[in-house]
Chain A
Amino acid sequence: MNKKKIFKLAKGFRGRAKNCIRIARERVEKALQYSYRDRRNKKRDMRSLWIQRINAGTRQHGVNYGNFMHGLMKENIQLNRKVLSEISMHEPYSFKALVDISRDAFPGNKNVVHPPRKVDISALNV
C-alpha cells in the first residue's frame, strides 16, 4: 500500500500511529485484522444482546428466557431473537401476549421469578 492509503486508514489513531509511517503501518494492519475478526464477532455479540434483552423482558413477567423460548418452540412460533428483542423494547403489550402464549404452552412455568412488585412508599419512610 502506498503511504497515502495507510494514513487515510489511520485517522483517529492515538499518538504517533496516525502520523509516522512505520508505526502507522503496523497499527493499520492490526486494525484491519481486528475488523475482519469483529465482523464475525458482531453477529455473536448482537445475538447475545438480544437474548439479554429478551431475558430482562420476560423476567418482568415472571418467566425466564429458557422456558420462554421452549414454549415458543413448542407452539412453532418462528420469530427470531432480533425481532423478539425489538418487541420487548417497543411493544410491551404484544410481548406480554407472547409471554402468555409461551406460559400456556409449557406448564412448568408458573412463577419462576418474583411476582410483580407493589409500590410501597409509606411503609418504608420513617
Chain B
Amino acid sequence: MASQAASSAFNGNMKKALAGLKRINLDGLRWRVFDAKGQVLGRLASQISTVIQGKDKPTYAPYRDDGDMCIVLNAKDVHVTGKKMTDKFYRWHTGYIGHLKERSLKDQMAKDPTEVIRKAVLRMLPRNKLRDDRDLKLRIFPDSEHPFGDRPLEAYVMPPRRVREMQPRARRAMIRAQKKAEQQEQGGNDKRKGKKREVEAELT
C-alpha cells in the first residue's frame, strides 16, 4: 500500500525510472541502495562505479557486464567540500565556434540534481562499449522515494572515511566565524572590534 502510494507520487518520472529495465539481461543481480545524504560527491561516485562495474564480485570478467543495479537516493543532499558549490563548472562545447557553455554546480543542482551524480559516476567508468549498458543500471532519485519498493533491496554501507584534520588557517577562520555569529546574536559592536584586536595579537 505504502509502496503503491509512493510509486504513484512521482508519476512524471515513472517512465524514466523504469526505462530500459527490460534490456538489462540477467536478474541474478542484486539491487543496492546508496544513500547520498551527507556523502561527499566524488567518494560516493567512486564506490558506486566499483559496484556498477561488478568489481566487488570475485566472478568479475572485463568482457561482460555483471554489476549490480544501483539506486541512489537523496541526490539533492550530496555534499562537496571547499568552494565547489559555486566554483565547480560543467563545461561543454556545442560545436559552433565560440559556443563554450558552462554551468556551475549550484545551477545544476537547482536544475537537475541527479545529473551531478550521474556525470560523476559516468566519468569514472572505463570508456568502452559497456559504458552505456552500465549507465542503464544506475537509477538516481533526488529524494528518498523510488518505485522499486517491491524488489529485494540491500543497503550499501560506505567504508569508514578518515576525514582530514582542518588546516590551521581554515580552522582559525572557522572559529572566528563562529564567535562572530555568537556575538552578533548578543549584539555588541565594541566586542567585535576587541575580538579582531585579539586575533591580530595572536597572529603576530
Q: Which residues of A contact B (CB under 8 A)?
A: 49, 52-54, 56-57, 59-60, 85, 88-89, 95, 113-115, 117-121, 123-126
User: Are A53 and B58 within 8 A (Cβ)?
Assistant: yes
User: Are A117 and B58 within 8 A (Cβ)?
Assistant: no
Q: Write the nearest CB–CB distance from A57 to chain B, whole angstroms.
A: 4
Q: Write the nearest CB–CB distance from A64 to chain B, whole angstroms.
A: 11
Is B104's CB within 8 Å of the partner chain A? no
Bitwise interface map of B from 50 to 74 toward A, beta carbon under 8 Å scored 1, else 0: 0000011111111000000000010
Q: Which residues of B contact A (CB under 8 A)?
A: 2-3, 5-6, 33, 35, 55-62, 73, 144-145, 149, 152-160
Contact of A85 among B2, B35, B55, B58 (CB under 8 A): B58
- CA of A114 to CA of B159, assembled, Å: 5
User: Are B149 and A126 within 8 A (Cβ)?
Assistant: yes
User: Are A54 and B58 within 8 A (Cβ)?
Assistant: yes
CB-nearest residue of chain A to B32: A117
User: Are A114 and B144 within 8 A (Cβ)?
Assistant: no
CB-nearest residue of chain A to B57: A56
User: Which 7 pairs of residues, A with B, have the shortest CB-CB distance?
Assistant: A57-B58, A120-B155, A126-B6, A88-B58, A114-B159, A125-B149, A56-B58
Chain A residues whose CB sits within 8 angstroms of the CB of B144 once the complex forms: 124, 126
Chain B residues whose CB sits within 8 angstroms of the CB of A114 once the complex forms: 157-160
- CA of A120 to CA of B155, assembled, Å: 6
- CA of A121 to CA of B3, assembled, Å: 12
Chain B residues whose CB sits within 8 angstroms of the CB of A95 once the complex forms: 58
CB-nearest residue of chain B to A49: B62
User: Are A89 and B153 within 8 A (Cβ)?
Assistant: no
